[in-house]
Amino acid sequence: KAGVTQTPRYLIKTRGQQVTLSCSPISGHRSVSWYQQTPGQGLQFLFEYFSETQRNKGNFPGRFSGRQFSNSRSEMNVSTLELGDSALYLCASSLGTSGRIEQYFGPGTRLTVT
Amino acid sequence: ELKVEQNPLFLSMQEGKNYTIYCNYSTTSDRLYWYRQDPGKSLESLFVLLSNGAVKQEGRLMASLDTKARLSTLHITAAVHDLSATYFCAVASHTGTASKLTFGTGTRLQVTL
Which residues in chain A touch residue B34, judged by CB atoms under 8 angstroms apart?
none
Comparison of pLDDT for A48 and A96, the residue scoring more: A48
Strands B85-95 and B71-76: unpaired
pLDDT of residue B40: 86
- pLDDT (tens digit, 9 = 90+) per residue, A31-87? 999 999 999 999 999 999 999 999 889 999 999 999 999 999 999 999 999 999 999
Distance, in angstroms, between A58 CA and closest chain B CA?
A: 9
Q: A108 — contact with chain B (CB < 8 Å)?
A: yes
Could you give the CA distance from residue A53 to residue B3 in angstroms, rounded to a whole number?
26
Contacts of B90 in chain A (CB under 8 A): 43
With CA atoms as reference, the chain B residue closest to A33 would be B100
From the list A112, A114, A101, the residue with the least C-alpha distance to A11 is A112
The answer to whether the CB atoms of A33 and B50 lie below 8 A apart is: no
Strand partners of residue B102: B91
Which 3 state secondary structure label does DSSP give B99? strand
How many Å apart are CA B17 and CA B8, to the nearest integer?
16
Buried b / exposed e over B42-60, threshold 16 CB at 10 Å, is: bbeebbbbeeeebeeeeee
Predicted confidence at residue B65, as pLDDT, reads 95
Res. A99: pLDDT tops 90: no
Q: Tell me the three-class secondary structure of A35-50, residue by residue.
A: EEEECCCEEEEEEEEE
